[in-house]
Structure 1
């Protein structure tokens, strides 16, 4: 694709106005998805995406994001700077137009930006509308200009506050606590998204600073290899077959004679590992497309056809043997597909799926030509790829038989579900809950304390299989996993994600709650179960059916009343306990003994007693019900997947062969439950 020349005009005339602003504060979910933590972080993405658009146009090399102590955010780039001249239509500074008018931007006619992620011109104005204060500084034309806004309105007119020979834009904003459920930013969420952005933009330097800690935490990302480094990152900690240590990189673009609306660039990096899952991530103009689209279709079609053609040509597939399927070829594959195009068409407001049909043809051609050339030039690696796909084909056949056996068993047992399952009497799945409980002791208490009409209990004995480290055949042969599948009723997807026989409409419960002890072993079992759901029943997570129960860690008894203490994800257990004791009017350092005026030790009753709950079985059924199971008083954490790369990495690191990742995670998060039951 032709580059935008360095002297390209970018002034007020480039900013096109579509319509005005007001509805954003009334219906913020239409613009940022929600007013939860997800929507809060979306404000940062809107500003960063503008800076990335400058980078893709060739005018920005550095972006910095800072989280200040009060959870305000500053984003700085060294791009051209938002235009500050008078807008030819509105007759006010173009900066003010961009900040206060919805659908005002330089991305509608491809003159200022040939490629951009922000397409609707709503980003920065939406941030303004949903912030209680915004300060923008622009360096350009030798000056530093500043303007201030609040809740979508201009509060201080543009003025010159200094001089600078540099160019760029600095945006600082304070999210509006009247709009958002929380205004506290999560460092890991910011870290993962910014790192992903750096991978997708070769040599773009992005820094993240968190000033909320005593010693500010700083992370920097810059990848000379771009998506090649991204694929290495996705496979970090996985076993990569000998000969495939270097990712395959393919790129291509349309020719100069191509009409503007059909131009495009394609970058693909791929590498197989020895695992069973598929992790293919697709992006269009740096926007993650979790549902894929035309570029993903083109990639998959080309990959399957080229590998089969090579295998036939080299005699690796015999004449009577069937072709390898797409699932066979993609087993253990990590890949990143990144396409750039001037006017991408997405399906739906969330941009989850690319609909520009010509990108399917372009991606197919680029991948077909590049991969065929690679296989011809690297016969040893090519044979390894084909051999791995053939092994996957054999395993898929065995797994299908095991899955069919599980389904037949489920049908046979439909009248009498798994023996340990204490089912509920109500049959309306929208009203019912399944508690997956650790051990027979806790299972007994849960059965006695439950609401028998809507709450079912399935006790597990010991830890279930780590399904990340075994194939489908072994997983479906496990009695424990068969019991889970039978009890839930939906069937399963396969590791390759082909849908399997999964049918969410057959779910017997719309709340499936993992209830384990609040200790390290309990955390491990939770992780194993979440890994199972992530791999074989992920649609249940996407539908919001999977939860983790949050049992109390202490009971503080004052007279005859017990005050239960829960983890909050921010403090240590000791800190939470001490704060609770103080809130009850006692000193946590009081051991009950005092001295009189003569110095003589005087025994005194402390006034409270503390019990540490190491396991669910230590609570009687009434306590377990009131603290952990009663919808009116319990705390549940809904399991969600907000970032596919982070989720896959977590599952891989926690469930893979590297023990250190699991140990570190459990030590940090064993008692983390932060979201109240909806």
Structure 2
């Protein structure tokens, strides 16, 4: 008998994964990751189904409950998943939906005209990745229940009783053999569900966390929909805004419209836009398609921006505010200080990429453009005082843009001049491969001196900052780019900023913010993170930005040169009995990096094998914007409270 060749490839090599086995084998293909983000994605898939019921007009309330064992229940008062025997599969339709991929009511546009969960994979994927799932359906006068485990049916459909109400209740236990963690983060759930409530006017969403001694409950319901969303993003607390809005614009501009009634079904859609300007210098526009956050925008966002730019320029020309000889305002000029939400609903959205980050349905660009053009033109004509304020703000932005161009040119010239030597006080490393190199940003010459002596000179560079970095949240770009500290930072990193930003020119793939573990250090850290968020966000998105975690204390036995390094007050409390005996132990509190000798700084904070580095990520656009604007805006108390609360105990950081 001939021996099988090791390189052979025949029919016997092809493995067929039955049912939901494929999901369990490659979960990342369906939920992106098995980390915390993937864990929370399970909740979004179930909630999205309930929201689809709401968008179809059949659901008014959704309850999400996290139980003490980190199982989750999602309950809605929609129509309930059908339980009758499926005509093709000859089993309960409920079982079909829960155990077969691409089985749902979202493919023929009959059950759902508009849907966020597009592919019919959501609930079955959650089932596949749960060690247990219990589904109850109230429908057709009865209460029905089925149970599943890891994608397979464990208890067939049974009727529990009678009811006059309808709805679906799903409880699931994430499979701890699949996920890196099965502990849900309340803030992540809170922010996403609040966002969902904003996007669905009058939909009540109740979030309950039973893991605390006294369960925490938050209820979201917004009669103003995305108008309330924009007000929230600008910091409205019921009485005043945290961000100063332009005069006369205390109520956001709201525009809505839909496609012509006689348009083909595939070309139908609805558009909602709410917008409001504030006195800051950055734009914050969020776009959604069928409640899905389109992080990279797409056709609806293009249509909105084009219409807004044209409407403001046309009005300015008609009113002679923009003179005949003057150039038009750019879109960036007009959107400086703008907070906006663009939400569209359409029957068959086409997204670019698996992540649904960009809407590709081209007709939505035309529809959004038409509706926003008409709505903005009417608003500006009917509100001349507000229109003048908008144009005044945009004209100031145009002047700032021209000044920023000059500042960027100066920064580029400075970078070219300094490229032959070291920019600022940078102590560079010898290796030139950015994938292998690290830049430590430290405060002051004292810490800089210790870091330069401690580092691995081949792969670690050190840049000491001269004084506190400018708060870029509160100044225009040209002011920021005129700062020596910021230009040195930009030159050292090598990417440039704004239109000239090129991540491929990054000289290091690890930028480590290394500040003292005290209130001042926390302040500098926030200032630096604000700079990266506003001017080099792709660096954060690429995973290049980190925060170092130096120790707070050293618990040292008497007579010994070195002891145990302690990074939090909680950890110190665990060691309390030891250091209470002052005859045997001493506790040293590190007020700054400069207090450590180079050997200590290396072994605790810079040495790759022992150090703790926190990767800075951007997980949620709404939370990110509020974090940066709250902390670095004009509200001093918010910033002070945050710094004092988190200066010593930050253990992970999502911006």
TM-score interval for Structure 1 and Structure 2 normalised by the shorter chain: over 0.9
Quote the offset at 1:478 in angstroms: 0.6
- Distance apart, 1:221 and its partner CA: 0.7
Q: Which residue of 2 aligns with 1:51?
A: 50
**Is 1:636–1:673's contact at 8 Å kept on the other side of the alignment?**
no
Q: What is the TM-score with the length of structure 1 in the denominator?
A: 0.91
Hey, what's the Cα distance between the residues in 2 that align with 1:159 and 1:555? 62
Q: 561, 571, 575: which one pairs with 1:576? A: 571
CA distance in 2, matches of 1:215, 1:313: 61
Kept in 2, the 8 Å contact 1:134–1:149? The answer is: yes
SS in 1 for 2:500: coil
CA contact (8 A) 2:539 2:545 kept: yes
Deviation at residue 172 of structure 1 after TM alignment = 1.1
CA distance in 1, matches of 2:566, 2:85: 59
How far residue 277 of structure 1 moved from its aligned partner, in angstroms, is: 0.4
Question: Alignment partner of 1:436: what SS?
Answer: strand
**Partner SS for 2:86:** coil
Residue in 2 aligned with 1:502?
501
1:367 partnered with 2:366: no
CA drift of 1:205 comes to 0.5
TM-score (norm 2): 0.94
Match of 1:621 in 2: 598
Structure 2 CA distance for aligned equivalents of residues 642 and 590 of structure 1: 40
SS in 2 for 1:25: helix
1:176: Cα distance to partner?
A: 1.2
In 1: Cα distance, 2:395 partner to 2:579 partner: 69
SS at match of 1:149: strand
Q: Structure 1 residues 417, 590: CA separation in 2 closer, same or farther (over 3 Å shift)?
A: closer
Report the 3-state secondary structure (helix = DSSP H, G, I; strand = E; otherwise coil) of the residue aligned with 2:422: coil
**What residue number does 1:422 align with?**
427
Q: Work out whether residues 635 and 675 of structure 1, in 8 Å CA contact, stay in contact via their aligned partners in 2.
A: no
- 1:190 maps to which residue? 189
| Deviation (angstroms), 1:279 | 0.7
Instruction: Spell out structure 1 runs of 4+ moving beyond 6 A.
Output: none
Equivalent residues in 2 for 1:557-576, closer than 5 Å: 557-558=556-557, 560=560, 562-567=563-568, 573=569, 575-576=570-571
SS in 2 for 1:177: coil
Q: Contact 1:636 / 1:675 at 8 angstroms: preserved in 2? A: no
Q: Please identify, of 53-62 and 210-219, the stretch whose mean Cα deviation from structure 2 is larger.
A: 210-219
Q: In the alignment, is residue 181 of structure 1 matched against residue 180 of structure 2?
A: yes
**Count of residue pairs the alignment pairs up:** 628
TM superposition shift of 1:554: 2.1
- Counterpart of 2:472 in structure 1 is 467
Deviation at 1:317, TM superposition (A): 1.1
Cα shift at 1:229:
0.5
**CA distance, structure 1, for counterparts of residue 221 and residue 646 of structure 2:** 29
2:651 matched to 1:668?
A: no
1:631 equivalenced with 2:636 (yes/no): no
Q: Map of 1:186-225 to 2, 5 A cutoff?
A: 186-225=185-224
| DSSP 3-state at the match of 1:154 | strand
Partner of 1:96: 95
SS at match of 1:76: strand
Map Cα deviations across residues 447-493 of structure 1 (whole Å, 9 max, x no partner): 11100000000111332111000111110111110110110010012
CA distance in structure 2 between the partners assigned to 1:159 and 1:671 by the alignment? 54
Q: 1:60-112 CA deviation, whole Å, 9 max, x = no partner?
A: 00111111112111111111111111111111111111111111111001110
User: Is 1:435 matched up with 2:446?
Assistant: no
Alignment of 1:87-126 (within 5 A): 87-126=86-125
Is the Cα contact below 8 Å between 2:27 and 2:34 reproduced in 1? yes
Deviations 1:341-379 (A, max 9, x none): 000000000000000000000000000111111111111
Aligned to 1:634, the other structure's residue is in SS state coil
Question: Where does residue 549 of structure 1 map in the other structure?
Answer: 548
Q: Does 1:264 align with 2:269?
A: yes
- Judge which range, 509-518 or 141-150, deviates more: 141-150
- Distance in 1 separating the partners of 2:467 and 2:405: 27
> Counterparts in 2 of 1:573-612, with a 5 A limit?
573=569, 575-579=570-574, 581=575, 588=577, 591-592=580-581, 607-612=584-589
1:619 CA displacement: 1.5
Deviation at 1:332, TM superposition (A): 0.7
**Are positions 1:643 and 2:627 aligned together?**
no
Q: Does 1:253 align with 2:252?
A: no
Distance across 2 between alignment mates of 1:108 and 1:334 = 35
Q: Distance in 1 between matches of 2:284 and 2:584?
A: 57
Distance 2:505 2:48 in 1: 41
Distance (whole Å) between structure 1 residues aligned to residue 583 and residue 210 of structure 2: 41
Structure 1 CA distance for aligned equivalents of residues 160 and 350 of structure 2? 41
**Contact 1:435/1:455 (<8 A) preserved:** yes
Structure 1 distance, partners of 2:234, 2:91, is 51
The answer to whether 1:488 aligns with 2:477 is no
What is the deviation of 1:151?
1.1
Residue 151 (1) aligns with residue 161 (2): no
Secondary structure of the structure 2 residue equivalent to 1:576: helix
Partner Cα separation in structure 2 for residue 514 and residue 487 of structure 1:
14
Q: Aligned partners of 1:316, 1:564: CA distance in 2, in Å?
A: 64
Query: Of the candidates 403, 409, 425, which is equivalent to residue 398 of structure 1?
Result: 403
Provide the C-alpha distance between the structure 2 equivalents of 1:326 and 1:302, rounded to a whole number of angstroms. Answer: 10
Q: Is the CA contact (8 Å cut-off) linking 1:431 and 1:454 kept in structure 2?
A: yes
Cα deviation, 1:417-452, whole Å, max 9, x if unaligned, reads: 224111101111110000001222111111111000
- Structure 1 gaps of 5+ residues are 1-18, 494-499, 568-572, 582-586, 593-604
* Structural RMSD (CA): 1.5
Secondary structure, aligned partner of 1:350: coil
1:161 pairs with 2:160: yes
Please name the residue that 1:280 is paired with: 285
- 1:267-326 deviations in Å (ceiling 9; x for gaps): 000111111101111000000001100000100111111111111111111111111111
Quote how far apart the aligned CAs of 1:558 are: 4.1
Mapped pair 1:78 → 2:73: no
In the TM superposition, what whole-angstrom CA distance separates every residue of 1:8-38 from its partner, at most 9, and x where no partner exists?
xxxxxxxxxxx94321111111111111111
* Mapped pair 1:290 → 2:295: yes
Measure how far apart 1:182 and its partner are: 1.3
Are the counterparts in 2 of residues 133 and 149 from structure 1 also a CA contact under 8 Å? yes
Q: Distance in 2 between matches of 1:153 and 1:209?
A: 29
Q: Distance in 2 between matches of 1:591 and 1:281?
A: 54
Equivalent residue, structure 1, for 2:238: none
Deviates most, 226-235 or 177-186: 177-186
Are positions 1:386 and 2:391 aligned together? Answer: yes
**Which residue number corresponds to residue 36 of structure 2?**
37
Q: Do 2:579 and 2:587's aligned partners in 1 also have CA atoms closer than 8 Å?
A: no
What is the CA distance between 1:39 and its match in structure 2? 0.8
| Counterpart residue number, 1:526 | 525
Alpha-carbon distance in 2 for matches of 1:214, 1:72: 17
- Equivalent position of 1:136 in the other structure: 135
Offset of 1:556 from its aligned partner? 2.1
Conserved? CA contact 2:71–2:173, under 8 Å: yes
CA deviation after TM superposition for structure 1 residue 254, in Å: 1.2
The 8 Å contact of residues 202 and 224 in structure 1, kept in 2 or not, is answered as yes
SS across alignment from 2:403: helix
CA distance in 2, matches of 1:590, 1:309: 73
